[in-house]
Structure 1
Amino acid sequence: MATVQPAKLKHHKGLWILFGTEMWERFGYYLMVGIFLLYLKDPISNGGAGFNLKMATDLVGSYIAMAYLTPFIGGLIADRYLGYRRAIILGGALLAAGYFVLAIPGKTPMYIALLLLVTGNGFFKPNISTLLGNIYSKEELKARKDNAYNIFYMGINIGAFVCNFVAAYMRNHYGWGYAFMAAGVGMTIALVWFIVGYKSVAEGDVKKPVQKEDMPMKKILGYVFLPAAIAGAIGWNMNAMIGHTIFGTTSNDAFMFACVPIIIFYIGLYIKASKEDKRGLGALFSFFLVSIVFWVIYNQNSTGLTIWADQYTNREMPASLEKVTKPFGFLEPVTTEPHEVIKYDEYFRSTQGPDGKLVKTQGPDTYFNNLPQKDWPKDKHLNLLSTEIFQSINPFFIVLFTPILVWLFGRLARKKKEPSTPSKVGMGILFAGISSLVMYIAITTTDVFHNKTEAYWIVATYAIFTIGELLVSPIGLSLVSKLSPPRITALMMGAWFIVNAIAGKLAGLMATFWDSFTHKQNYFLILIIAAGVAALIMFALSKRIAGVLKEKTGSS
């Protein structure tokens, strides 16, 4: 009897429904994240929120943290009660509503929108990936599962690439609110597309009733979330109790305090685990620990690197390119004529006093803060490449580098020289550190308080980081599924999302101290050192972790 060759198998029709849904959802997510910091620190007179840099980066970090934290509970609810399709529709509706509410001016609508967004993300993010895995669980489709995830991942990056050009056009021509509305439109398209194909993914929508070995939801809420909420409330009030914050801002204190009982809970799982389970959990927790550094560097994309692209990078376009790009609306007009601006950074401490407080004042656009006056335009106006366009560099390189790395590791595998999974993680963290080293070199070779760095530095940073991302990011959920004891896999998936949440908050926390770094290169030096230490730890543990993987799965 002839066997069916995997290459001749057709993909499940539900793949294209999930591909389109995820592409448009990621379009909305990355559009919002790409401009959120810029919106927060833009003066109210320009339609922005008028936050100072510390407040803006703190809120961005909090949003990223919560966006990664809520999938834990959203995934569990979908697993046990709602089902995946209904959870995706609920999450998508909340996300769309959140983007549209964010388009309404004012702080109250903004906070309501953020609540809708983090809740919606909790229901949407974990369940669409699970649904894809489920529809490819049939024996005849398993051979195409990895390929299906690659296609799905391409959808993510198409959405992430395109969205920033739309954001630039909308906010430059119509204002911030219309840019956020574009994210809402994208999410609405995702929702409609998913509903149209609702029946085509039905076979993957299998609820998982609570088994006797599963931890009940009440216990999870009582042992994890209730203590975290109490600890968070204590952290929120630290300033009132002791007269100052511990981690720079009230929200930082609340988040860091809330993490303590969660970490204690997972330590307790390890202590109580059997000898056999401890090997897998120990390997997994080691991976979690070092990967935090990687994700902190990743989230500079929305914090430190956005600040850098906005204020320290030469965004002037050559005349020939300006003529080509201007009709597409990717250029942001700035002027040296006095108007209301918010000045920040040490560069202005000489005029604002030693504390460098941020003030609203009359002056040129802040882009000219560290540009010599001899280089100011004679007609007082410039058209700059919009800052959010730099956010498209990473997905561009992902699409470019993915087939190259797949080919390279395929060739190494045939020669039996392919690095182990933990070694790939170590290399990925090392590449992330090297990407920060590029920024360190850029700063030390330029007087950034009196001039701009060239755009090729940040392009090189993203290119090098992307290699690291391709080595680390796809491995995370796979390692969780392989190393977790079956009865607590859902809890360990939750731990993976919590790791990402902590990293997002740490990235925001770092950026709140941006103005405190008199020597900006030290900001990136911290990341370089952290990545170097984390990579060394991972390389040191790689043989042990690879051994545990081989015991559990037969491969390393």
Structure 2
Amino acid sequence: MSSDAPVGARPPAGKTFFGHPRALSTLFLTEMWERFSFYGMRAILVLYLTAAVADGGLDLGESSANAVYGTYNAMVYLMALPGGWVADRLIGARRSVLWGGVVIAAGHYVMAIPTGWSVFAGMALIVLGTGLLKPNISTMVGDLYERDSPRRDAGFSIFYMGINLGAFIAPLITGFLGEKINWHLGFGAAAVGMTFGVLQYVLGRRNLGEAGARPADPLLGADRRRALTRVGVASVVVLAVLLVLLVAGWFTVDTVVNLLTVVTVLVTVGYFARILTDREISGTERSRMKAYVWLFLFAASFWLIYDQAGSVLNIFAADQTDRSVGGFTFPASWLQSVNPILIIIGAPLAAALWLKFGHRVSTPTKFAVGLVLNGLSFVLMAAAAQAAVGGDLVSPLWLVAVYAIQVAGELSLSPVGLSATTKLAPVKYASQMLGLWFLATAVGDAIGGQVARLAGTWSQPVYFLTFGLASVVLGLAAVMFTRQIRHLMAGIH
């Protein structure tokens, strides 16, 4: 099969959504509600973990809370890899998205139970559900376009706007309920959002045509039974390891966080090795995967810094910014809405920009721009932290400016990375490659959670300046290797 063939079965022509296939609207709204639930919970998670018991929190130290946050995010995206495999080999993308949404909703409802254990049990369910939903809904978006169509990046940018519409609304609701009334009520609001997402998806599935209806490479007969047996054995091994940790008295937050960080990195290395040594992929596909390794490393470095918005920067907002307006102190988590509202404004502009430039600006160049801008945001954050030295509360506009720079970087890298993943993917690994793209976020967040521990031991200005400059240098290095990476991409722009 030619690698330049359409990625999947496209829905029939008919009504359009912003000039794109009508099916994009169903996927847009499903992802919007899923992101509402995810970002709504995420906006208050670290604040809940660090809040005093008297205030309804868990009174976890900032260092451990930051690591838990980073590892939780990592697990959400790590599970996208098996989630893509389930879609590719067992049930197809469409049903994976449906069942993923149901499990995510269940997880948020569990988190709404007002006990300490419910939060960790709920997060485990959300991790499993998001692994099924997240990579496969993006694969279905890719199914709507030709592999190398210039409109493809524009379509993903519109889809990305849906993600951020949910992310904008969520902290305003869950943040107020969680910080001002009850943390678990905030988690419950996220559950309601995911329920809306599931209902909308079921009602709108008639728009999808054949997109995601069947597994790309289904397992049959003995192969299917053998694969399911291996999954069962792996599950038993995981449970056994957890039991050993519990019996030995090693089942602590820090132990689990450290273990999961190592697992995330090892899974990444193993999966790339598997694809690159697979004899069933063509030489062209292998070359493209080598290019993708570089894009993956750039993306992981980007998310290492970027996703600290919900941990280190969120705590900075709570403790070191003046949030009083007219006698009302607005929740710190409301500042988590700044990033997505800027993306909502910027996504259509980015979509139009990439369509205008076409293939004149390469994917590696866009990644390099994202890394440089991300680094500059932390350089500015170092100045904000310096202004807060001595206990002074600083204007929240510092954080607004930081998020504005990060948004410009995100629009250069993230939707473009989604599109590049579907274009560079070997046919055999279509849905799993979207899982691999989200694994870049997992690696960045897992390592970022460990890095964030340094925020409690280093001075804040030094912490932000060090990692900001490192990102700028990496971005400039990416520019130097653009020509080599484009050569490896073998005709994909």
Q: Same fold (TM over 0.5)?
A: yes
Q: 1:247-304 deviations in whole A, cap 9, x for unaligned? A: x931343123323354145236436777655432221111112221101111111111
Counterpart among 308, 313, 326 of residue 300 in structure 1 = 308
**Which residue matches 1:255?**
260
Q: 1:83-138 deviations in whole A, cap 9, x for unaligned? A: 2332222111111111111011223222211111101111111222223333x258
**Which residue matches 2:379?**
437
1:108 maps onto 2:117 in alignment: yes
Rounded to whole Å, the distance in 1 between the matches of 2:160 and 2:388 is 40
Counterpart among 138, 145, 165 of residue 158 in structure 1 = 165
**Which residue matches 1:346?**
none
Rounded to whole Å, the distance in 2 between the matches of 1:189 and 1:272 is 41
Rounded to whole Å, the distance in 2 between the matches of 1:75 and 1:529 is 35
**Which residue matches 1:535?**
475
The correspondence of residues 481-496 of structure 1 with structure 2, limited to 5 A, is 481-496=422-437
**Which residue matches 1:394?**
339
Work out whether residues 303 and 507 of structure 1, in 8 Å CA contact, stay in contact via their aligned partners in 2. Answer: no
**How far off is 1:530 after superposition?**
2.4
Number of residue equivalences: 471
**How far off is 1:542 after superposition?**
0.5
The correspondence of residues 100-499 of structure 1 with structure 2, limited to 5 A, is 100-134=109-143, 136-137=144-145, 147-208=154-215, 210=217, 249-258=254-263, 259-260=265-266, 262-267=268-273, 269-270=275-276, 276-317=284-325, 319=326, 322=327, 383-409=328-354, 418-444=360-386, 446-499=387-440
Aligned partner of residue 448 in structure 2, secondary structure:
helix
Rounded to whole Å, the distance in 2 between the matches of 1:108 and 1:233 is 20
Rounded to whole Å, the distance in 1 between the matches of 2:300 and 2:400 is 23
Aligned partner of residue 322 in structure 2, secondary structure:
coil
**Which residue matches 1:364?**
none
Rounded to whole Å, the distance in 2 between the matches of 1:268 and 1:528 is 33
Structure 2 alignment gaps of length 5 or more? 1-12
Identity %: 30
Rounded to whole Å, the distance in 2 between the matches of 1:40 and 1:403 is 36
**How far off is 1:543 after superposition?**
0.9
Whose RCO is larger (CA < 8 A, sep 6+)?
2
Work out whether residues 287 and 538 of structure 1, in 8 Å CA contact, stay in contact via their aligned partners in 2. Answer: no
Letter of the structure 2 residue corresponding to residue 502 of structure 1: V
Rounded to whole Å, the distance in 1 between the matches of 2:434 and 2:17 is 34
Aligned partner of residue 203 in structure 1, secondary structure:
coil
Distance 1:5 1:35, change over 3 A: closer
1:552 maps onto 2:479 in alignment: no
1:61 maps onto 2:57 in alignment: no
**Which residue matches 1:28?**
37
Rounded to whole Å, the distance in 1 between the matches of 2:434 and 2:228 is 14
Rounded to whole Å, the distance in 1 between the matches of 2:217 and 2:64 is 42
Rounded to whole Å, the distance in 2 between the matches of 1:253 and 1:8 is 44
Letter of the structure 1 residue corresponding to residue 342 of structure 2: F
**How far off is 1:410 after superposition?**
5.2
Rounded to whole Å, the distance in 1 between the matches of 2:30 and 2:283 is 42
Work out whether residues 65 and 503 of structure 1, in 8 Å CA contact, stay in contact via their aligned partners in 2. Answer: yes
Letter of the structure 2 residue corresponding to residue 48 of structure 1: G
Rounded to whole Å, the distance in 2 between the matches of 1:150 and 1:408 is 11
Letter of the structure 1 residue corresponding to residue 462 of structure 2: N
Distance 1:180 1:143, change over 3 A: same
**How far off is 1:175 after superposition?**
1.1
1:51 maps onto 2:60 in alignment: yes
Rounded to whole Å, the distance in 1 between the matches of 2:73 and 2:460 is 24
Aligned partner of residue 394 in structure 1, secondary structure:
helix
**How far off is 1:454 after superposition?**
1.8
Distance 1:128 1:279, change over 3 A: closer
**How far off is 1:70 after superposition?**
0.8
**How far off is 1:59 after superposition?**
1.5
Compute the RMSD of aligned alpha carbons.
Answer: 3.6
**Which residue matches 1:380?**
none
Work out whether residues 40 and 175 of structure 2, in 8 Å CA contact, stay in contact via their aligned partners in 1. Answer: no
**Which residue matches 1:354?**
none
Work out whether residues 103 and 129 of structure 2, in 8 Å CA contact, stay in contact via their aligned partners in 1. Answer: yes
Structure 1 alignment gaps of length 5 or more? 323-382
